[in-house]
Amino acid sequence: MDHRPSSIVNPNSRLMKLNLQEQTVAEIVSEHYRAAEVFRRYGIDFCCGGQARVAEVCARKGIDPARLQAELEAALSEKAEGSPDFRSWSASLLADYIEERHHTYVRDKLPMLRQYSEKVARVHGHAHPEVIRLARMVEELANELEQHLLKEERVLFPYVRQLVRARKGEAELVPPPFGSVQNPLSVMRHEHDHAGELMKQMRTLTNDFTPPEYACNTWRVLYQLLDEFERDLHLHVHLENNLLFPKAEALEKELLAAP
């Protein structure tokens, strides 16, 4: 099911607003979705660590801001037909999209990651102990994400949809058992941080997911899949941390303040 509205982002229409001194990484990615790939190439976190100003990140990481801006502007000047304007979506629409696209992706890929990492550890672990550690990290990440998705689907997302219906006057806002939406959001953000840290550790451990020249096909596929999985996870967390969660907080605040 395709929830995307017909409105399409035109990156050229907002290009003049790009200001690396004032804007945060998350703000730029929220407004210009194609910037995510540029930040990824520079190793700039736009999901969990996205609240830092771009200029500050450049200074900390030794990145030439002029070069980064040039690459961002080049990416944003390309035609982006079909790129959704996630900022304009309602909280319930975002929840539906995240669940159907990103949650499905995670559940599809986790069994493969487990299988391949276990095989590589079993076959090559005697000569490469790092792949044994990698397999353990994959298992830790998989276990945590499985529980994380369930909490979102059974607790958080239903409440988000209820908030939207209440805002439209289609239903009453029933007080949730967890008190305020701030409570599950705090848990989700903490778990996002930990998942992101695990992926960073895996990337470091594997030299940016680069297999040795003599690696077997399973080893190569594992690293390619981990690289792909990390990219999807960054987009997944960005949509939640920087778009869905603030919308949910604002909705609840508005509804509770209403007479």
List pLDDT tens digits, range 246-256: 999 999 999 98
Prediction pTM value: 0.77
User: Rounded to an integer, what is the distance from CA 185 to the centroid of its chain?
Assistant: 15
Closest CA to 232 of 102, 123, 111: 102
151 to 44, 253, 258: CA distances (angstroms):
28, 22, 28
What is the pLDDT, as a whole number, of residue 148?
97
Closest CA to 29 of 9, 58, 5, 59: 9
Mean pLDDT of all residues in 154-173: 94
Mean pLDDT of all residues in 58-80: 81
For the ranges 49-63, 79-93, 170-184, the maximum mean pLDDT occurs at: 170-184
pLDDT tens digits for range 95-147: 999 999 999 999 999 999 999 999 999 999 999 999 999 999 999 999 999 99
- 73 against 113, higher pLDDT: 113
Is the model's pLDDT at 86 over the cut of 50?
yes
Instruction: Please state the length of the chain.
Output: 259
pLDDT band at 82 (very low <50, low <70, confident <90, very high): low
3-state secondary structure string, the chain? CCCCCCCECCHHHHHHHCCCCCCEHHHHHHHCCCHHHHHHHCCCCCCCCCCCEHHHHHHHHCCCHHHHHHHHHHHHHCCCCCCECHHHCCHHHHHHHHHHHHHHHHHHHHHHHHHHHHHHHHHHCCCCHHHHHHHHHHHHHHHHHHHHHHHHHHHHHHHHHHHHHHHCCCCCCCCCCCCCCHHHHHHHHHHHHHHHHHHHHHHHHCCCCCCCCCCCHHHHHHHHHHHHHHHHHHHHHHHHHHHHHHHHHHHHHHHHHCC
- CA gap 158, 215 in Å, rounded: 45
**pLDDT above 90 covers what percent of the chain?**
60
What is the pLDDT, as a whole number, of residue 12?
38
What is the pLDDT, as a whole number, of residue 83?
64
Whole-number mean pLDDT of the chain?
Answer: 86
Mean pLDDT of all residues in 175-195: 95
- 171 against 1, higher pLDDT: 171
User: Rounded to an integer, what is the distance from CA 87 to the centroid of its chain?
Assistant: 15
Name the least confident of 29-38, 187-196, 233-242. 29-38
pLDDT tens digits for range 48-62: 666 788 888 889 888
pLDDT band at 18 (very low <50, low <70, confident <90, very high): confident
What is the pLDDT, as a whole number, of residue 7?
33
- 36 against 118, higher pLDDT: 118
Closest CA to 242 of 15, 103, 79, 89: 89
